[in-house]
Chain A
Amino acid sequence: MLTFNWLAGCKPTTTKEVLTLPKEWFEMNSYIKIGENGVVSLMSPNPEFGSNVKTSMPMILADELNVDWKNVLVEQADFFPERFERQFTGGSQGIRLGWQPLRTAGATARQMLTDAAAQTWNVPASEITTENGMLIHKASDNKASYGEMASLAATLPVPEEVALKEIKEFHIIGTSRKNVEGKNIVTGKPMFSLDHTKEGMLISMIVHPPAFGMKVKSIDESSVKSMPGIRDVFVFQNLRDDYERNGFDTTSFADMVAIVGNTTWEVMNAKKALKVEWENAPEKTFDVQGWRGKETVVMPAGLESSDGHTYQMEQMSRKAAQELRKDGDPETAFKKADKVLERTYTAPYLAHNCMEPVNCFADVTADKAELYGPIQAPEFIMNALSTSLGMPKEKIKINLARMGGGFGQRAYGHHMVEAALISQKVNAPVLTIYSREDDMTYGIYRPTYTATYKAALDKDNNLIAFHVKGGGIPEHAVAANRFPAGAVDNYLAEGWSLNSNITIGAFRAPRSNFIAGAEQSFMDELAELAGKDPIDFRLELLDRAKNNPVGENNDYDAERLSGVLRLVREKSNWTETRKNIHRGVSAYFCHNTYVAEVLDLEMKDNKPVVHNVYAAVDCGIVINPDAATNMGEGGIVDGIGNALFGEMTFKDGKPEKNNFHQYQMIRQKEAPKSIEIHFVENEHDPTGLGEPLFPPTFAAVANALYKATGKRFYNQPFVHDLETTRMEM
């Protein structure tokens, strides 16, 4: 294992007191070790990218194990599929899918300790209780710490079935606990793979084509080979030609240049000096084994521009599309309508822009490969690593680095394959670093989307027909079975897509991150046309969906979606008016969690200033309330930033923005003055928070902007139309 396990000498970060490390650890299972002095070591299985699973997952283990949180040390697990299930961070599924396995692991260890005490005291296990790391048998006045029983417990058979706690028995879950890495972060400890060093380690940077649709023609090695500190420069190919990809093998450029040297600065200088000739790349067709089954992907030749994309999308939106769902007879209903509203929404490609640029450490020798880098889905890059390196999987070890952000970008592991191949070629440990420019122009973007909504009201302002036709490059964002499907008799959802050689990938709440904003902006305008309050309008429809749903497969719980709308209405004091402050509301269900938001903004010098945001969230049981609130705040701030500013554009295949001076990010001044997150209290199993607060924010912004300026905002990023509004005023 890479020497990143500091347990031997480190101070714990969970407590002010120093925990004395035990002389010996006894392993209960993959997750739990107990020292003879009662100190507990918990493995956090999933890679960490800021959602703080490194605290919340151990909290679940510790609660069922029934220990005192102050006696807990947390260690990051490496990728170890034989010992941990689903080491995947993404899709807001970590806690949701880890809930049962983590509770079971904690309860199992508790049972083994109980059995050890039962054996030692010769009493029935069922009479033994546990509390804060102590085993107690009242009747015989016997007491022991977990530490005393650990060595015996570790030898006992693992029970097949264990009883889990009642929710009311939780003593850690549901309480706010500090980030276990807080102290290390604020004291600048080396925590990221970019911070890694090893004896003999070299630095490498890549050079990728400046535009999509291009490839390497030739390089002039002499331009850099003799520069100070430079060891090697070569062209290499990431994936073998005959390799069958899975959904996370996305690779933007077949071949790239690697420059290897002693220090980052020297390699950066060589990157600037390197002469490369590029040429147009041919069309590429290949199969991908995705989660929807085998798909054929076509990457056309050519150099694409945003103007061309806009034009093509407008053309496509007029053509016939694939029917995704139909209820009743929308065509007739539209003909009979008293009022019809039709609106079109668009959004651009987005770059992830994690603060930590893509990088990976690799040490590949003849008989093994050790990798240490940011990766959300280590399991899914193993095939590519094995094939490209020509090494069996058992010889490849992935150590899970803390990620400086993920947002979906780090689910793709091309950088691991690159780092490994570079290390293999130069026969040395190498840290491969992307510059910010490399990272921002590499691709795997959030796709560009559009959607046209059409709705019909009868003379009593009832919604009688609803039609959504959405498209995008290279996929559409339509979720046909979501609200308002189920709430309207005549419903049609259609989708279309266009091929492109610009690579895309998961971006915080894929597809939802566009369609929620479009749909909830349209709902707002429709409510106004119907002469109804926007929250009342939604609640009426949800009542219909609950009491008398149309069709089956309605992919939401109308009661829970109503619940968050009612809660946000209450907490935001929805009907309150304040001078110059304008309110927008939005509600969405995605990634298993229900969210409703009210956003208050004011226009100052024709710029929106967000004052308050209120969010009502139904994610079932909340593990770590303050950390959950932090996640909610993050999703909202991200939503405001991308709604207002986020945009990647292209000219002749070249991304037009390559650093933060061109790609506008939300900053301290544009963040809301206050955010309140209110969790619905219920006992549903926990669902995630990483993504669900992001999508509804876009419409909350748009709807508030409408109240503030009298104009509707249909095209993201809103900064462009705001500028037009400013110039008109």
Chain B
Amino acid sequence: MASLSLNINSKNYTVDIDPQMPLLWALRDIIGLKGTKYGCGIAQCGACTVLLEDNAVRSCSLPVSAVADKKIVTIEGLSEDGDHPLQQAWIEHDVPQCGYCQAGQIMNAAGLLNKNPNPTDEEIETAMNGNICRCGTYLRIKAAIKTAAKSEKV
């Protein structure tokens, strides 16, 4: 166990924690933020995606020791009131079916738009390929990202 400082959604948390614990489980079990999901544990499905200093990363495969003191944003911190352009676009296109993968999809898309505010279809497909949607909402995810990219430009 070690005492670590985690900066999540602009708040500082000091926790006594196994430094090997993946960020995913620190978020869910220690901090109590349930939006970031467990899907596979081996960075193959993307359900656990968060932003680490504005880059999309798989929290299931990052030990907390590697992210201490760094800026982490989860789905809960993407916006004040659910009005991030991506969240609004997700609603506009009525994207989700079961909804389990969608937080990871949105956070991964946020990482994409942070790096590439005006992605082509192909760039979206490549960037989002690590996020599995079992229900098959891929077309709507892509459409929502394009809508969000356009609105951010305006």
Interface residues of A (CB under 8 A from B): 48-52, 176, 178-179, 181-183, 185-192, 194-195, 197, 203, 228, 263-266, 268, 353-357, 402-407, 433, 435-436, 626-627, 630-631, 633-638, 641, 659-661, 665-669, 671-675
Contacts and interface: CB of A to CB of B under 8 A. Distances in A.
15 contacts: A50-B97, A182-B96, A186-B75, A192-B100, A194-B34, A195-B28, A355-B101, A356-B98, A357-B39, A402-B98, A634-B97, A665-B132, A668-B133, A673-B121, A675-B139
A189 B90 contact: no
B134 A353 contact: yes
Interface string B34-56: 11111111101101000000000
B99 A436 contact: no
Given A265-B18, A668-B128, A191 B137 contact: no
Contacts of A405: 98, 100, 134-135
B87 interface: yes
Given A355-B133, A630-B137, A669-B126, A187 B75 contact: yes
B142 A668 contact: yes
Nearest to B18: A265
A627 B102 contact: no
Contact of A194 (B38, B87, B97): B38
Interface string B75-109: 11011001000110011001011111111001000
Interface centre among A197, A356, A626 (most CB of B within 10 A): A356
Interface in B46-78: 47, 74-76, 78
Given A187-B82, A637-B138, A404 B100 contact: yes
A186 B87 contact: yes
Contacts of A176: 94
B151 to A, nearest CB: 15
A671 B136 contact: yes
B97 A52 contact: yes
Interface in B109-150: 121, 124-126, 128-142
A186 B90 contact: yes
Q: Which 6 A-B pairs have the closest CB atoms?
A: A188-B35, A637-B136, A404-B100, A50-B98, A188-B75, A50-B97
Interface of B: 1, 18, 21-22, 25, 28-30, 32-42, 44-45, 47, 74-76, 78-79, 82, 86-87, 90-91, 94, 96-103, 106, 121, 124-126, 128-142
Contact of B41 (A51, A353, A435, A635): A435
Contact of A402 (B18, B47, B99): B99
A186 B134 contact: no
Nearest to A194: B38
Contacts of B126: 669
A668 B136 contact: no
A693 B25 CA distance: 37
B125 A669 contact: yes
B35 A189 contact: yes
B132 A263 contact: no
A633 B94 CA distance: 13
Contact of B47 (A228, A355, A674): A355
Contact of A265 (B22, B37, B47, B137): B22
B38 A182 contact: no
Contact of A667 (B18, B47, B97, B129): B129
B5 to A, nearest CB: 19
A353 B40 CA distance: 10
B44 to A, nearest CB: 4
A182 B90 contact: yes
Given A265-B29, A659-B40, A667-B129, A186 B94 contact: no
Contacts of B138: 637, 667-668, 671
A355 B132 contact: yes
A567 to B, nearest CB: 21
B106 A186 contact: yes
Given A638-B136, A665-B134, A182 B94 contact: yes
Given A266-B18, A407-B134, 16 more contacts: A52-B97, A186-B82, A186-B86, A187-B75, A187-B78, A187-B79, A194-B37, A195-B34, A354-B134, A433-B38, A626-B94, A659-B40, A660-B44, A669-B125, A671-B136, A675-B139
Contacts of A48: 98
Interface centre among B18, B34, B87, B142 (most CB of A within 10 A): B34
Contacts of A675: 139
A645 B34 CA distance: 31
Contact of B140 (A192, A407, A433, A630): A630
Contacts of B87: 186-187
A182 B40 CA distance: 24
Contacts of B1: 228
B116 to A, nearest CB: 15
Contacts of B44: 659-661
Nearest to A178: B94
B141 A181 contact: no
Given A50-B135, A354-B134, A185 B129 contact: no
B76 A187 contact: yes
Contacts of B25: 263-265, 268
Contacts of B139: 633, 637, 671-672, 674-675
B129 A660 contact: no
A402 B128 CA distance: 25
